[in-house]
Amino acid sequence: MKVMQKIWDSAKKDLKTIILPEGEEERTIIAAGKINDNSLANLVLIGNEEKITTKAKEVMANIQGVTIIDPETSDKTAVYAKELYELRKHKGVTEEKALKIVKDPIYFGTVMVKVGDADGMVSGAIHTTGDLLRPGLQIVKTTPGTSIVSGTFIMQVPNCEYGDNGLLFFADCAVNPNPTAEQLATIAISTAETAKKLCQVEPRVAMLSFSTMGSASHEFVDKVRKATEIAKELRPDLQIDGELQLDASIVPEVAQLKAPNSNVAGKANVLVFPDLQAGNIGYKLVQRFAKAEAIGPVCQGFAKPINDLSRGCSADDIVNVVAITAVQAQ
């Protein structure tokens, strides 16, 4: 838990306001108590106040000082509905429809983040990735200069010499099924920034392929090569190289043979996968076979931080994702 301890410490230094829209859900309420007890963030729980306080007593969660907002009764509902209407009227959303949509806690929370009444949001204990990401993509949108949102896993691999003593960042493992070269370049840059911001590591980014520096020819390889060029051009200050096979990226001896002139090969700590199938399978392989801790997905690229949970998450997972979101918001 070394990585998470660092993130907790950062979160405590500058408290941010984080929304938990699944406010009536038991694990969320237990997590709210822990976040409150550890002063990791100021919290807003969305839901019915009586239901939340009754459940909090049942599970002995200290939610004193936590703000509870019910979209059914809040005087903010009409304000947020108007905001939502203005943002989405070009997509056919009417004022009447906006009022109905905004009563959905995830939409309510997303608009709240958008207008600056909160700094970030964490959800997904009882919703799918799409249920959470879609409102975020439609309303909060991407940060200026970033074209897409993507998802990184912070991988902490035990007894491992690769990356930074087993600490690596894998992307995109969660959002974009088949990124273009331009989008892949964005994913690389976003992941480098995430590594710096959350874990204060100096990123060394490998653009992964089944080819190393021209050893194979295929349109898939061309995409990774082009993405590497774009990323390098956009951010000459970052260490990014490719295309590289996984072994050439992380094993110094292999790098020496296959890519001796690369400043990244053999010591990469950020691995950018060519598509979502590779990324999603890749992080799960390392998680299961190497018994790695996989923290995430950390969503990157949103104008304000929004993060997803697995529906199988524990209360402690929620606490950690709130801490990550709070640090992203700093």
- x/- letters, 85..114, toward ligand ACO (CB under 6 A): ------x-----------------------
Give the C-alpha separation, 150 to 240, whole Å. Answer: 18
Stretch that binds ligand ACO, among 8-16, 65-73, 141-149, 264-272 (CB under 6 A): 141-149
Give the C-alpha separation, 179 to 147, whole Å. Answer: 11
CB closer to ligand ACO, 130 vs 260: 130
CB closer to ligand ACO, 35 vs 295: 295
Q: Is 176 in the site for ligand ACO (CB under 6 A)?
A: yes
Residue type, 2: K
Q: Which residue has the tokens 């790695």?
A: 292
CB closer to ligand ACO, 10 vs 300: 300
CA atoms lying within 13 Å on the CB side of residue 163? 21
Q: Is 129 in the site for ligand ACO (CB under 6 A)?
A: yes
CB closer to ligand ACO, 36 vs 146: 146
DSSP letters, 171-240, are ESSSS-SS--HHHHHHHHHHHHHHHHHHH----EEEEE-SSSTTSS--HHHHHHHHHHHHHHHH-TTSEE
- x/- letters, 202..241, toward ligand ACO (CB under 6 A): ----------------------------------------
The residue within the footprint of ligand ACO, chosen from 3, 56, 98, 149 (CB under 6 A), is 149
The residue within the footprint of ligand ACO, chosen from 61, 93, 133, 171 (CB under 6 A), is 133
Give the C-alpha separation, 234 to 282, whole Å. Answer: 27
**Residues binding ligand ACO: number (CB under 6 A):** 17
Q: Is 7 in the site for ligand ACO (CB under 6 A)?
A: no
Give the C-alpha separation, 246 to 248, whole Å. Answer: 6
What crossing angle do the helices spanning 181-199 and 219-234 adopt, rounded to 10°? 50
Looking at residue 292, what DSSP letter applies?
-
Taking the complex as a whole, the smallest distance from the CB of residue 296 to ligand ACO amounts, in Å, to 7
DSSP letters, 125-168, are SSS-HHHHHHHIIIII-BPTT----EEEEEEE-TT--STBTTEE
Do residues 125 and 28 make contact, with C-beta atoms less than 8 angstroms apart? yes
The residue within the footprint of ligand ACO, chosen from 61, 102, 121, 137 (CB under 6 A), is 137
Distance, C-alpha 194 to centroid of its chain: 9
Q: Is 280 in the site for ligand ACO (CB under 6 A)?
A: yes
Q: Is 142 in the site for ligand ACO (CB under 6 A)?
A: yes
Residue with nearest beta carbon to ligand ACO: 137
CB closer to ligand ACO, 13 vs 91: 91
* CA distances in angstroms from 271 to 26, 159, 181, 231, 267, listed in the order given: 36, 19, 15, 14, 11
Q: Which residue has the tokens 């939409």?
A: 107
Stretch that binds ligand ACO, among 10-18, 32-40, 137-145, 219-227 (CB under 6 A): 137-145
Taking the complex as a whole, the smallest distance from the CB of residue 220 to ligand ACO amounts, in Å, to 20
Q: Is 313 in the site for ligand ACO (CB under 6 A)?
A: no
**Where on the chain is the footprint of ligand ACO (CB under 6 A)?**
91, 129-130, 133-134, 137-138, 142, 148-149, 173-177, 280, 297
